[in-house]
Structure 1
Amino acid sequence: MRLRAFVIDSLVTAAAGLIATHLTNTVQAVLARLMPADAQRREEEAALPLDPSQMAARRAAGLLGIDLRGKALENGGWVVHYATGLGWTPVYVLLRRYGRLHPGGAALVCGGAMALLLDEGLVPALGLARGPQAYPWETHARGLVTHLAFGVLVAAAVELLWTGSRRWR
């Protein structure tokens, strides 16, 4: 019985991660358009030639002796982007299952931790983006709101899918 629950949780987690990542892309795009033109310009000036997902894809491929360019680099960036969402979704599940947090609290912790640990910490530490000081505050605010939205979307997807999967447990 535990194996069945583990498999169902794994499938729910993967599906929720894909759903939340896809929907978060829309949130990100809307918020980017709402940024003031001056902040957009300063963000563009601070940005590296490739976005962080593409930088990570190029590095990972380079370790395998592959030089990603053009459409392959773009696709590689999307793979890294979705893999990051899929990889972070278990944080929500763990907070709910073992942290026994309410869905809303787990959503905010999941999304907030993603913004702080990945965007503000790991991504610049790995050289996938410039340090936080290089970007205008609006970029950081957009990133935080986007990642909080990811947490909420993960929560909604997981909770709905868990409810639908109860008959299979």
Structure 2
Amino acid sequence: MHMEERTERNSMMGDALKGAVAGALAVWVMDRFDWFDYHREDAETRERTNEVRPGGMDPAHVAANKVAEATGREMTPTDPHPAGQLVHYSLGIGPGALYGVLRHHYPVIKTGRGALYGLGLFIGQDEALNSLTGLAAKPQEYPWQDHARGLKQHLIYGLVMDSVLRVFDRATKK
């Protein structure tokens, strides 16, 4: 392996690691805002959201429970459960790692300081894949407030992730 190839590979791995850390922090911040908003929604909206969720659980916990069932195990409690939280954080860490690498090669991805990326995750994951994979009900079954809250949280995710990566960039340039 040539020195240039090794340096490029190490750089990409470093960018992915920084992106993963930024993604984890962004999920943590996003969750704080989400819980704040969720607990301020009217009870009827929260009830409608929980009624349409498979098993009354968020998509990460649905996924974790499906894996547990497939392996002959039972998650108790089903929600909240550390395995569900692991899936939830993984859904932020993976895209964070990808963003950490891609932002240097495709600058358009940084449009809106990560907000565009967050919007893409909201549309792709929350509005499409979760429903298609059975991790969530069909989008039209949820109240509009749930979509608005999800959009806001994913924009926050993108902005926080990008901000953390900018801090990392400044720290490593010194």
TM range (shorter): 0.7 to 0.9
- Output the CA distance in 1 between the equivalents of 2:65 and 2:44: 30
Structure 2: 5+ residue runs without aligned partners?
Answer: 1-6
Is the contact between residue 46 and residue 134 of structure 1 (CA under 8 Å) also seen in structure 2? yes
Alignment map for 1:103-142 (pairs within 5 Å): 103-105=110-112, 107-142=114-149
Give every structure 1 segment of 4 or more consecutive aligned residues whose post-TM-superposition deviation is greater than 4 Å.
none
Structure 2 residue identity aligned to 1:80: V
Count of residue correspondences: 167
- Output the CA distance in 1 between the equivalents of 2:80 and 2:39: 24
Assess, with a 3 A threshold, how the Cα gap between structure 1 residues 122 and 72 changes in structure 2: closer, same or farther.
closer
- Output the CA distance in 1 between the equivalents of 2:130 and 2:162: 24
Structure 1 residue identity aligned to 2:115: L
Of stretches 19-28 and 84-93 in structure 1, the one that deviates more from structure 2 is: 84-93
SS in 2 for 1:69: coil
Report the equivalent of 1:41. Answer: 47
TM-score (norm 1): 0.87
Report the equivalent of 2:25. Answer: 19
1:55 aligns with 2:72: no
> Identity of counterpart residues, as a percentage?
27
Assess, with a 3 A threshold, how the Cα gap between structure 1 residues 102 and 123 changes in structure 2: closer, same or farther.
closer
Assess, with a 3 A threshold, how the Cα gap between structure 1 residues 57 and 104 changes in structure 2: closer, same or farther.
same
Structure 2 residue identity aligned to 1:21: V
What is the root-mean-square deviation of aligned Cα atoms in Å?
2.2
